[in-house]
Chain A
Amino acid sequence: MSTLRYRRYDTVYLGAIGIIGALLVWELAARLRLADPVLISSPMLVAGALRGWAVSGALWRDLGTTLYELVIAIGASALVGIPLGVIMGWNRPAEYALDPFIWLLYSTPLVSFWPLFIIWLGIGANAIIALAFLFSIVQIVINTMVGVKGIDPVLVRCARSFNARAVDLFFKVTLPGALPMIVAGLRLALGRALIGVIVGELFSSNAGLGFHISFYGTRLQFADVFAGLFVIVIVGVGMSQAIRLLESRLVRWKS
């Protein structure tokens, strides 16, 4: 019942029990042949596959490739998306003009652009980065714009009352005021960029976590596929936790 009080460490060990329990059920299902072990593999086999992958050194190459594509894509998105979002937040006509494009990109399943990227950029990292860029930039633009528009107008009036220059207004009021929203946008954008990178690698590449999954998937070596998924989970959770940490450091001024 919800009236019971739980202590802080309860979340930790209960969560651990949840994960271990799920793994146990999975292992038993495979051992007792409740489902075809070829199809569902098992935690033990996955652990073995993971070790083999790491020992061969391919893991580090694949992880490196994926992270590289991810970082470039998200960096480019931030570089382009934040200024764009600020402009849209500041200037009504600019917002109205860009709005249709942003919303179209936000609601479109962006993978459909993949064949175009392949044709324009060729098979390889560039097309993957472009796809991930497209996935993430929309989120950054939207969050930045909302953040800028959400700044208390009295703060802007205050700065203007002190004769603030435009540069000061930007760096001392607009940017810090929108920062929490921008960082939250960055966190969501990272998740979206990860989708873009994995899909791109899944479709065509010769390295990366998505490639690993697709490669072993077609060979029906599902332990290796699960190992790939596991690493992707680690990357996803790790990044979002890292940004959360950044968030909590950056916005210490919030009650």
Chain B
Amino acid sequence: MLHIELKQIRVTFPQPEGGELLAVDRFDLQVQRGEFVTIVGPSGCGKSTLLSVVDGLVRSSSGQVHVEGMLVTGPGPDRALVFQEFALLPWRTVEGNIGLGLELQHKLSSRRIKELVLHYINMVGLQGFERHYPYQLSGGMRQRVGIARALAVNPEILLMDEPFAALDAQTREIMSVELLRIWEQDKKTVLFITHSIDESVYLADRVVVMSSRPGRVKEIIQVGLPRPRGLAIKDAPEFVRLRRHIWDLLEEEVRRQVDGKEDRA
């Protein structure tokens, strides 16, 4: 069943010196309900912008986003964003941060919020850290809070913008395993941006490879690997083949980007 549909998305930003920057152009994508889609692409190709458009934080200059057939005009409770920079309020404890989204929605009593927060603290394995402030947490723990905060509002769509980028390689692997475990429970629709090709293949049903700016769909790759997946799958021949393929696609794009810069210089 079709869940998210991006039609001919085009985003431009006004430049400080005047003129406009074309960040995303003619971007088409259809995401099925419960599907896990990862997006990779060269730096600055408009991935974050695209995700902001789906969340409703940024307006596209032309083209539309439909969620369940409804036109997206702003942020909504059916979508939740997980930020690369965690974006935790430093003056709130783990509890306070996880409850933030629920509080801002003004739908539940504070008692109900407390119960839900507790549930999600358990889900992301932060028992015992309820009263800790962000500065007292490790990077991995902070991002668990960010993920729990998004999950707590029970969105149908999870938008994740390089959520593991600030973590070390090991924590990153553990977190992606955790994420899949959580996702297996209720199969939300996920749009997940990453720079790690490994991660993109490991997590995804489909990988979208974007071209360098202006960002377009370069290729969409179906990942047929069986689920649930363990880390061992990264040694499977199919995994290695997909990784190689995506690597080649990206290398081409990055090269084009660099050559383009040299042309201008």
Contacts and interface: CB of A to CB of B under 8 A. Distances in A.
A contacts B: CB pair < 8 Å: yes
Interface in B72-92: 74-77, 80-81, 83, 85, 87, 89-92
A255 B101 CA distance: 24
Interface string A223-255: 000000000000000000000000000011111
B197 to A, nearest CB: 26
Given A162-B75, A162-B105, A253 B91 contact: yes
B153 A162 contact: yes
Nearest to A252: B133
Contacts of A157: 57, 83, 87
A160 interface: yes
B103 interface: yes
18 contacts: A157-B83, A158-B83, A158-B100, A159-B100, A161-B75, A161-B81, A162-B80, A162-B100, A162-B101, A162-B104, A162-B153, A163-B74, A163-B105, A168-B104, A177-B91, A251-B91, A253-B135, A254-B135
Interface residues of B, number: 26
B55 interface: yes
Nearest to B101: A162
B90 A253 contact: yes
A164 interface: yes
**Residue of B89, B91, B103, B135 with highest tally of chain A CB at under 10 A:** B91
B75 A160 contact: yes
A154 B85 contact: yes
A152 B84 CA distance: 14
A163 B87 contact: no
A173 interface: yes
A155 interface: yes
A124 interface: no
A17 B160 CA distance: 60
Given A154-B85, A252-B133, A161 B57 contact: yes
Interface string A139-166: 0000000000000101101111111110
A176 interface: yes
Nearest to B77: A163
A176 B91 CA distance: 7
A253 B133 CA distance: 6
A172 interface: yes
Contacts of A152: 85, 87
Nearest 4 Cβ contacts at the A-B interface: A255-B135, A158-B87, A162-B104, A253-B133
Given A154-B85, A252-B133, A253-B135, A161 B90 contact: no
B81 A158 contact: yes
A157 B87 CA distance: 9
A176 B104 contact: no
Nearest to B84: A154
Contacts of A158: 81, 83, 87, 100
Contacts of A255: 135-136
A108 B102 CA distance: 48
Interface string A173-206: 1001101000000000000000000000000000
Contacts of A159: 100, 104
Contacts of A161: 55, 57, 75, 80-81
A215 B101 CA distance: 61
A163 B85 contact: no
Nearest to B135: A255
A155 B153 contact: no
A49 B248 CA distance: 88
Contacts of B103: 168, 172
A160 B83 CA distance: 13
Interface string B44-84: 00000000000101000000000000000011110011010
**Residue of B100, B104, B153 with highest tally of chain A CB at under 10 A:** B104
Contacts of B100: 158-159, 162, 172
Contacts of B87: 152, 154-155, 157-158
Interface in B209-224: none
Contacts of A154: 83, 85, 87
Contacts of B153: 162
Interface in A107-143: none
B76 A163 contact: yes
Nearest to B56: A161
B130 to A, nearest CB: 15
Contacts of B77: 163
